[in-house]
Every structure is written in structure tokens, then in C-alpha cells.
Structure 1
């Protein structure tokens, strides 16, 4: 097959813009926020979006929002195909747009991982930076550099935990 450089470049640009799944970065970010933060709070959605962007920028994960969100085993099952309830979408859309334009959660830093708040794991390399939106966000560190090894239990009425 003989394709011109222009055709190849156009395909590459389209692939980067739409990601491997054929969706826009906006929709992929919305899906991550919608399914991972349980639409609990804007704070939780921005934290999830910040993790997605940290992964995109890290060089250790796919280099697109859709590539990160659609990566097998990393986010909620069927995240790219499940139906989203339209009642929650206005806030989700606005928050996704804001993160894609550069907003980041101030407490996330370089964290690229999170799990459901309240779950405990036996690993000694999880340095927790924030609990919000039903999730505990953490950085992986060498065990001797972990100073916040266990996230606290969320307190009723408080949307985010910001350290000891």
C-alpha cells in the first residue's frame, strides 16, 4: 500500500486527538471522572482528572487521555462502553473541560494512583496524598520514603483529607 506523507500525518493527528478508542479527550476524561469519582464532588472529579493527566504526561502510560482511560485493568470495568446518566453530565463536562485546560488538584502533586477509600492493601510503598470523592490517592515510593502509609477514614461532611 502506498500512502502519502500527508495522509499518514493526518491519520496520526486524528489518532492522537481521538485516541485509540475513537472518542475525544473530553469524553474520555468525562468517563474517568463519572465512573471513578461516583460523581460525589467536583473535588473528587478534579483529583481523578489530575491522576489521568499525570499518567499522560509521565511517559510510563499511553500519551493520550483516551489511551490512559481505556487502558485495560486500570480504571472501572467497561469504562468506555457503560452508559452515563445525563443528570450528572453538566458538572462532569465542566470539570473535565477545566482539567483538560490545565486545572489540577493542588494536593495530588505527581500521584498517578488511587483506589476506593476504605480499602487497605498490604503494600509498603503507598504514600497517600489525598482522600476525596470516595477515593484515596497515592504516590508509589520506596518504602523508607513513605510517611503517610495509611489513609484515614473519611469524616462525615468533609470532602477532602489533606494530610496529617
Structure 2
């Protein structure tokens, strides 16, 4: 079950372009069929928007070089998955968040084997493993978790 979070979803109203940017990140990063995975990707995007370490707009975050799938800002979206991504983008911008993401700002494909000692995994969903970067001694979940279907 996915949960909303209280308060405003952003520091300023988001434009239709920013809804499109969010939908693009969700569509191209979450295997296009998992709403749960889309909400997880969107939660990471919003965590980055609210972080001083990343741009403070959705399009700024999604458009960052080498952060999201190649062509995320330019490839066409189509079909039922595109509709789902747009609807889910609106829900995330309105405040819905994935309950297992918490403060995570990073993810990679679930099949990828990373060898860094600062990756604390919080959930695997939509074909991705989501994680927080922590000091190595604070990592209690150093390997991707079994896939979550919410």
C-alpha cells in the first residue's frame, strides 16, 4: 500500500512540463508496468528536488546528465504505460510517496551488482533496487532486497 505524505509536495507550483518530466522518469525507469515502481522512482525524484545536492525542480533533476535512462527527456512515450506514468506523476507531485523509500535518492537496475560499501538498500520494486548512501558502518542492508510488489 502506498501512502501520501503531509504538507506541500513542492516549494512552488509545478508546471505541466514538470509533470511530463516526472512521467518520463517513471516511464523509462520502472519497466513501464509497475505503478509501485513508478511511485518509487517519483519519490526518489522528489527527494532529490528537496535536497540541496540536486537541482530544485523536477525537470532539473530528471534532466541531469547520466542520472536517468538515456533519452529520458526526448524519446516518445506511448500506450497504457504512458497514461499510467502521467497519472502516477500527478499523484506523486500531489504528495503520494512510496512508503519504503524514505530518504533514498538513488537506485539502479535490480540485476546490477554494485560493489560499493556505502549502499543501504530500502526496497526493490519496478525492476530497480533503491538505496540510501550512508557511511559504511551505518549500512545494515548492503544487498538489494527481494522484489516488493505493492
Query: Considering the TM-score relative to the shorter chain, is it more than 0.5?
Result: yes
TM class by shorter chain equals 0.7 to 0.9
Which aligned pairs between 1:44-59 and structure 2 lie closer than 5 A? 44-59=37-52
Gaps of 5+ in 1: 1-15
Structure 2 length as normaliser, TM-score?
0.86
Equivalent position of 2:73 in the other structure:
80
Instruction: Count residues in correspondence.
Output: 138
- Report the structure number with the largest CA radius of gyration: 1
Contact 1:40–1:134, Cα closer than 8 Å, also in 2: no
Q: How far 1:40 moved relative to its partner?
A: 2.6
Q: C-alpha distance in 2, partners of 1:122/1:146?
A: 13
Gaps of 5+ in 2: 1-12
Q: C-alpha distance in 1, partners of 2:82/2:143?
A: 33
Q: C-alpha distance in 1, partners of 2:33/2:149?
A: 9
**Which contiguous aligned blocks of 4+ residues in structure 1 show a shift greater than 4 angstroms?**
none
Equivalent position of 2:109 in the other structure:
116
Q: C-alpha distance in 2, partners of 1:51/1:61?
A: 11
Q: How far 1:93 moved relative to its partner?
A: 1.2
